[in-house]
Structure 1
Amino acid sequence: MSGGIGTRLRPLTCQLPKPMVPIFNRPVMEYSINLLKEHGIEDIAVTLHYLPNKIKEYFKDGEKFDVNIKYYIEDKPLGTGGSVKNAQDFLDSTFVVISGDAFTNIDLTKAYEFHKEKGSKATLILKREAIPLEYGVVITDENGRIIRFLEKPSWGEVFSDTINTGIYILEPEVLDYYNKGDNFDFSKDLFPRLLMDNIPMYGYIAEEYWCDVGDIGSYIKTHEDIMKDFKKHYLLGEKVQNGIWIEKGTIIEKGAKLYPPVYIGQNCLICEGAIIEPYTIIGSDCVIKGGTSIKRSIIWENVIIEENCEIRKSVICNQVYMDKRSRLFEAVVGAHSKIYENTTIKPGVKIWPYKTIDENVIVKDNLIWGEGINKRLFGNRNITGIFNRDVTLEMIVSLGTAFATVIDNKGSYIISSDGNNLSKSIKNLLISGLLSTGSQVIDIEDGALPMCRFGIKYFNAQGGIYISTNKADEINIEFMDKRGVNIDKNTKRKIENSLITGDFNRCSSEEMEDVVSVNNFFKIYIREGKLSLKNIEKIKSRKPNINITSPSENIMKLAEEYLIGIGCNVKKMHYREEYTIEDVRKKVLEEDADLGVLFSIDGERIALTDGFNSIENERYWLLILSLGFKTGELKEAVVPYNFPRIVEKLANKYNANINYSKSNITDIMGTIIDKGIEFQYILNFDGIWAIGNILDYLYGQNMTLNKLLQEIPEYFYFKKEIPCQWEDKGNILRRLTEEGQQGKELIEGVRFIEDKGWAMIIPDEEKPIFNLYIEGYDEEYAEELGNLYDEKIKKLIKGF
């Protein structure tokens, strides 16, 4: 399979199909051809789509490699399975599918024997991978039979560290589910259907080397792995001396220093005074002048590097010129680029082909769209970063463009921010990006995140963006779909890919829309927030004293206007850093107020106090669910899978139903909205409207907060964080899932169900920790259970 575009490898693949990217001066696909030949496979079909002639011109009919090659070109992408089905006339017996961009020495003969021994119709060759998020995870039983697939899972779904390498041994009849020309994938479409129909399908776990040359990091690592492993040195040909490989025609001048391991291609000139340090690979026809130092870097062909340059852990593509005293640190330079004298290219920068960089320049940003993209641009729910360090001006404009490109470049989008000046600046940059696609932008100005979600539905927009700023210039950017729900992980991936490729929809100046600015939209939001309240007159007659605070002054202003409008006396408390609901409780008690409210910085969440009780997090959820069940507003509710199961007792009391969702905000909020549970949406995700609904109930029913809290059954629940290494996560979760213990659920993380409680272990999406959730029938047992699983995880970590 050689049709991939190689998005994550750009700029290496801007002018080159991914299988043609060189490893030690040979296309990576050539190693796959040689592997097949080594195992007696000489008839090879190659599926092509992106830049097919580059591959055909190099490999031709395969005679040079002692194999027979046929080519099958897709006019449009057909998916991994569809591309193989397109070669149907070639598939008359058991066949192997292998990616043209994977580097491996997996024993295909052993895998084939396993396939036949098991009577398998589809055998997937698997490998153990410490951090499997970018791969398909495959779960097998003790006999190797496949029982479950997860495509590019989140950490909460990593139930195993055995990943799909994309190498398969298949019987032709498994493709009968589809017709030639159908677009389908093996992992997403065909294999789940085989599993559903109970077709024998097995996973063969390979012990040999395998690397998906999928991004720059893995590309560099593959070269280092080969150089480090003596058993793979046969791939590199004859050594001049220990750890140094030099091909014919290359001249190493006297006084040049080479520190192994080093690989240098044909017809190169390494001048006197040049220093070639370990794990450096230099392609053919290159010139390295004196005083230049290169370490852990890969230089392609026809590259000239002048005197006194410094190159560290970088990749330089074909026909690049680098002038004297220039420096390259963990960067990538595309083909045919010119870097002039005394230029510094900072870590993480990617320079696209045919770029010219003037002398005396410091390059901090990519030369295509403006910003390097981390492997995981989005966090669990949003993009967070320090301004001008993680999040730059150029990146922000491109984010707006990518968002509209992915969702609908002719759509309408709501945009809003908190009152911070930096947030407003970021908002204007995002607006520029959105407008450049031909989209309509409706700016509802300063507000709260729930107000932005409300605006999306109010204007029937295709999506929305909300920007807020925390202390120390930390920016948060939330992207929402047409429901007002945070975008899902597939949309996040598409936005990231659009940024990486620079593949944006653009409009002409005639097509560019004006920004629609809606002044005082908050008035509409506040008015709408009052419409569902039934007891405003009772609230006004009682004139409750409410103390409010928030890290955001803007949220306090909105909450103040809303609460005054329903009849409350409001006192704004000056917020100070690390303020908690306990601080608010003390103030409420001192001032004999009726209620205290701590709003989150975006206005989405609240914590409550009556001066005696502090209610936040899961206790707040239980309070509002109790209120909803009691009034009949809620016949069913949605809670995250890691929530205390005491909620079931509460629901049963009122004959209500509980729906569990995964614990990320997209799944929770999306499930609530899709089920039409408006009351829960308001109380969970709109802090300002929520406090109005709570007061409406309390004063309408002549109820106190303390009395309402008594409706909640006693429960014993806590969360613990256990530090680990990123690479520990998949291995430990797999070992936990393989334990033979009964009462185990694999819906999100691993949940162990005991007689008197449960423990749930979920790897964190953003930090190198395990989150451990515990609930027990009493406090002592909950603590005992927590210690048990805390110790279990720590022992597994120490075992590495």
Structure 2
Amino acid sequence: MKAIVLAGGFGTRIQPLTNAVPKPMLPILNRPMMEHIIIKLRDELGITEIGVLLYFKPEIIKNHFKDGKDLGVKITYFLPDDDYGTAGAVAFAKEFLDETFIIVSGDLVTNFDFKNIQNFHEKKNSKLTITLTSVENPLQFGVVIANEDHRIERFLEKPSWGEVFSDTINTGIYIIEPEVLDLIPYKHNFDFAKDLFPLMMKQDIPLWGCSESGYWRDVGNPESYREVYKDIFNGEITLPYKGYAKEIDNGIVYSESGVKLNKKVRVEGTVILGKNVFVDEGVTLKNCIIGDNSKIGKHSEIIDSVLWDDVKIGVKVKVNNSVICNDNIIKDESKIPFGVIMAEKCIVNKKVSFEKDIIMWPDKEIEASSVVSANIIWGNKYKSSIFEDGAVVGRTNIELSCEMTTKLAEAFGTILPQGCNIYVSRDYHKSTFMLKRAFVAGILSTGVNIVDPYNVPSNVMRQALSKNEDVIAGVHLRQSVFDPTQTEIIFFTNEGLVLDSKLAQSIERIFFRENFRKVKYDEIGSITEDKNLRELYIKAIEDSFDKTLFKNCEQKVAVDIMNGSTSDIYPRIINELGIDNIILNAHRREKGKSNDIVKTQENMQHIVRGLNLDCGFLIYPNGHKLQVIDNKGELIYDYKLLLIVLALLDKSTDRKLKVILPAWAPDFIEYDHIEVYREKLSNFKAEQLKEYDLIADTDGHFAFNEFGLNRDSIFTSFKILELLKKSGKKLSKLHKDLPDFCYKGENIPCPSSLKGKMMRKFLEDGKDKKISSVDGVKIWMNDEEWILMVPDQHNEYLNLYVQAEDEKSAGRIFYSYQDKIEKWISE
């Protein structure tokens, strides 16, 4: 048998540990992670011929392992000339792979019994065997279901929480027969999970799953790297130590050559010292690893921590549960007690204190006596992704500093064609004015041109973006509606849709690697102004409606602009359409103060009642969300507003309309002229959305295809007035006529580590009932009552939605599943 070790990944999620080295070279017990894999292949399977697939920083791996002779193996390197995916990369080694071979990633730590996997493969006479295991958080892996005979029946690569159907995952360890390589096209992007496995299943070639229950950890982020060491010291996995063992005090020290360990050193647990390490008197070492050529000053403490090579620790320094990378200097009396990740070549001056879980990027210097309370680049805690649903959100001038914003712009500009045009717009706040300037500088440096519409609502820019073929993308900066200390930077495609997850990941990869495109001085981008977007938008809405329809009616409306960017747009449109109106809070509010939504709703209810108006609208500050008060002064809940709009559409048309809603939208009403589709509302292309007349959700967001594919509360408000006029109905009547039912959404705390288990438990619980897994898991109690569970993508809780005939029935369903969830979590 031969082996292929995959060693080409960028290590984006584990930044900044991989800033200077590829992920397989991260040290575990003072030897690269990948070296442990090679030793395991040699010792357990007797493999001596190993192919290593390279891509990112290949010279570092080659320089360390050379031809493999020092490890008693022969290594052959393969370096594809492009990124061809996991299977496509293996195809480069096709001539080498002339017998059964095993594929293992070079960036994992495991004690799986490779011999057992080999025996399973041979017993099943398998062409391709996938090693499976159960994990707490399956999001970053391929989720798998196999039957009782271990044949794989279902496979989903890197799902969202709403798509997870099991906590059994593909570990990326495969045993393959060479003829399978004939299915992989040469020099094409081809992935095992996305392409090869579905192809084999389509051709009815069995995929077999060998389940292993030992230790397996994909070292994907800094926290998981730290956890590996905790597991080693706790005895959950045993790996070979380097050096000679010696018992000292209450511990054992493994030392390599050249170590100078003062006799007055206190030792607890296991300590591993690399070559030429110097430890001075009075030092306490507990469950720690110290790399080559490092020095520890007098009376310092290194506890539950990893120090890489050439680290200099001063006098009376405390390091606890932290990772300190190469070439760092930490001076006297500094305290690093709560899990710091410090990338290489940093200088920490005297008496610096770090707070919990700080990430420090390379080449930083901290002034003496500083208190470090935030990451020194991004975020108040480690994030595997800086994007959330096409946006980057952070505290202004803290996470979203000018430096951070410029780098983000450079990364975005790098994925765009040089010389293209993009819109960059903002609201009127000082914070977005500042950050927009930083963003503009970054974009221009990549040779991308900016069309500047200044301060307009995001829906105005998106409308223009979808119409202007000369502009290929858009970015909008705005202050958060709910937290004025935060700024949101939202990215849009040329179709006016938010950036999908694939593009966001591409930007992140460039951001973390800082692999920005730098153009020559005469290729720097230019800025042009376009102040016509507002006028074009106003005209587009006015042209969408029959003015005589409104002028001949007696509708009286109150509108709260909520001090938003629509303040110089909405009043002009409503007056031009001839609608009798009262406008509230149309002035701009520069001072940072969040909107009190409940108070705003209550004020509007009093106004509509007191003045006997036909309705009241709340237009959220950037024009993306709408709330409505009926003519009796009752707030229409968002999900009921959706049902009212659908009812109005159904009564106003003779043709068949197509509407797309999220999986959790109420579904107990049948319509004569509306065909409703329920899908996962993300990563759609414009061509797909154009098939639908309305895209909506249960949170007050509506996009009418006749005007555009983007959420727009301004257009929606006038569309509702038009439909009311045509129907001759009052809002309160439509509100009252909704069938009696109960619809509620709640969230239940759940650690991310257990979300996969919850999805599996829900599926198992609903196996005898009607069930759907379009987004999350929906279980029907009867024809109209159901519960839907969708794990939240970004927070540690589960979203539960219940539809039932009344409050009592909804409570019974909800609380029964709440009890089940609590029980499943505690198991």
TM-score w.r.t. structure 1 length? 0.91
8 Å contact from structure 1 (residues 637, 680) kept in 2: no
Deviation digits for residues 264-287 of structure 1 (CA, Å, limit 9, x no counterpart)? 2233211013333x3321012221
Choose the corresponding residue for 2:774, options 739, 742, 747: 747
Alignment of 1:342-741 (within 5 A): 348-352=358-362, 374-380=383-389, 382-460=391-469, 461-469=471-479, 470=481, 471-519=483-531, 521-534=533-546, 536-542=547-553, 544-574=555-585, 576-579=596-599, 581=601, 583-612=603-632, 613-632=634-653, 635-647=657-669, 649-650=670-671, 653-654=672-673, 656-664=674-682, 666-667=683-684, 671-673=688-690, 675=692, 679-680=704-705, 685-709=711-735, 713-739=739-765, 740-741=767-768
Structure 1 position 415, deviation (Å): 2.3
| Distance verdict in 2 for CA 1:383–1:578, change over 3 Å | farther
Describe the SS at the equivalent of 1:727.
Answer: helix
Q: Which amino acid aligns with 1:394?
A: E
TM superposition shift of 1:599: 1.8
Displacement of 1:483 in angstroms is 1.0
**3-state SS of the aligned residue for 1:96?**
strand
Match of 2:718, SS state, is: helix
Aligned position for 2:313: 305
For residues 334 and 784 of structure 1, the distance between their equivalents in structure 2, rounded to whole angstroms, comes to 52
Work out which of the residue numbers 752, 775, 783 in structure 1 matches 2:803: 775
Shift of 1:778: 5.1
| Structure 2: runs of 5+ lacking an equivalent | 1-5, 586-594, 695-702
Q: Distance in 1 between matches of 2:812 and 2:108?
A: 47
Give percent identity, aligned residues only: 30
Going from structure 1 to structure 2, the CA distance change for 1:259 and 1:711 (only over 3 Å counts) comes to same
Which whole-Å deviations, capped at 9, do the CAs of 1:417-456 have from their partners, x for residues lacking one? 2232222222222222222212121222222221121121
Matches within 5 A, 1:15-164: 15-42=20-47, 43-164=49-170
CA offsets, 1:295-323, max 9 Å, x none? 33211223332323343443333344444
C-alpha distance in 1 between matches for 2:310 and 2:596: 60
**Alignment CA distance shift 1:422-1:56 (3 Å):** closer
Q: Which residue does the alignment assign to 2:700?
A: none
8 Å contact 1:635–1:657 — kept in the other structure? yes
Please identify, of 138-147 and 453-462, the stretch whose mean Cα deviation from structure 2 is larger: 138-147
Residue 256 of structure 1: aligned partner = 265
> What is the CA RMSD across the aligned residues, in angstroms?
3.0
Residue type at the aligned position of 2:680:
K
Report SS of the residue matched to 1:690: helix
Contact 2:544-2:707 at 8 Å conserved across structures: no
Name the amino acid aligned to 2:676: I
Q: Distance in 2 between matches of 1:86 and 1:618?
A: 54
Instruction: For residue 72 of structure 1, report the CA deviation from its aligned partner.
Output: 2.2
Residue 214, structure 1, aligned to residue 220, structure 2: yes
Are residues 14 and 231 of structure 1, via their aligned partners in 2, closer, same or farther at CA, if it must alter by over 3 Å?
A: closer
Is the Cα–Cα contact under 8 Å of residues 339 and 358 in structure 2 kept in the other structure? yes
Alpha-carbon shift at residue 709 of structure 1 (Å): 4.6
In 2, distance between residues paired with 1:559 and 1:143? 64
Aligned residue type for 1:626: A
Separation of aligned partners in 2, 1:468 and 1:170: 52
Q: CA deviation at 1:763?
A: 0.5
SS in 1 for 2:129: strand
Distance (Å, rounded) in 2 between the aligned partners of 1:681 and 1:229 = 63
For the 8 Å contact 1:661–1:671, the answer to whether it is kept is no
Partner of 2:255: 247
Q: Deviations over 1:146-190 (max 9, x none)?
A: 222222221111221222221111122222112333331111211
State the shift of 1:229 in Å. Answer: 0.7
Contiguous gaps of at least 5 residues in structure 1: none
User: Which of the two has greater helix per residue?
Assistant: 1
CA gap 1:282/1:363 in 2 versus in 1, 3 angstroms: same
TM-score by length of 2: 0.88
Change beyond 3 A, Cα 1:307–1:599: same
Distance 1:421 1:72 in 2: 53
Whether the 8 Å CA contact 1:125–1:165 is kept in 2: the answer is yes
One-letter amino acid of the structure 2 residue matched with residue 699 of structure 1: K
User: Is 2:750–2:797's contact at 8 Å kept on the other side of the alignment?
Assistant: yes
Moved more, 91-100 or 786-795: 786-795
2:219 aligned partner, one-letter code: V
Given that 1:352 and 1:367 are in contact with CA atoms closer than 8 Å, whether structure 2 keeps it comes out as no
Q: Structure 1: how far apart are the matches of 2:806 and 2:372?
A: 60
- Which has the larger displacement, 219-228 or 335-344? 335-344
Amino acid of the structure 2 residue aligned with 1:554: S
**In 1, Cα distance between the equivalents of 2:365 and 2:81?**
34
Shift of 1:51: 3.3
Distance 1:235 1:750, change over 3 A: farther
Contact 2:658 2:691 in 1 (8 A): no
Shift of 1:662: 0.4
Call closer, same or farther: CA 1:601–1:368 in 2, change over 3 Å: closer
Which deviates more from structure 2 when the two are superposed, residues 618-627 or residues 488-497?
618-627
Report deviation, 1:700.
4.4
2:33 maps to 1:7: no
- 1:616 Cα deviation (Å)? 3.5
- Conserved? CA contact 2:378–2:399, under 8 Å: no
Report the secondary structure of 2:246's partner residue. Answer: coil
Q: SS of the residue aligned with 1:636?
A: strand
Change (3 A) 1:597 1:225: same
How many Å apart are 1:233 and its aligned residue? 6.0
- Give SS of 1:642's match: coil
Give the Cα separation in 2 of the matches to 1:289 and 1:385: 38
Report if the CA contact (8 A) 1:672-1:681 is conserved. Answer: no
Task: Please give the secondary structure, in 1, of the residue aligned with 2:165.
Answer: coil
SS at match of 2:752: coil
Q: Distance in 2 between matches of 1:518 and 1:364?
A: 42
- Report how many aligned residue pairs link the two structures: 791
Q: Is the 8 A contact 2:751 2:797 kept in 1?
A: yes
**CA distance 1:409–1:69, shift in 2 (3 Å):** same
Q: Match for 1:797: what amino acid? A: I
Greater shift, 53-62 or 420-429, is seen at: 53-62
Per-residue deviation, 1:680: 4.9
| Equivalent position of 1:279 in the other structure | 287
Question: Shift in Å at residue 137 of structure 1?
Answer: 2.2
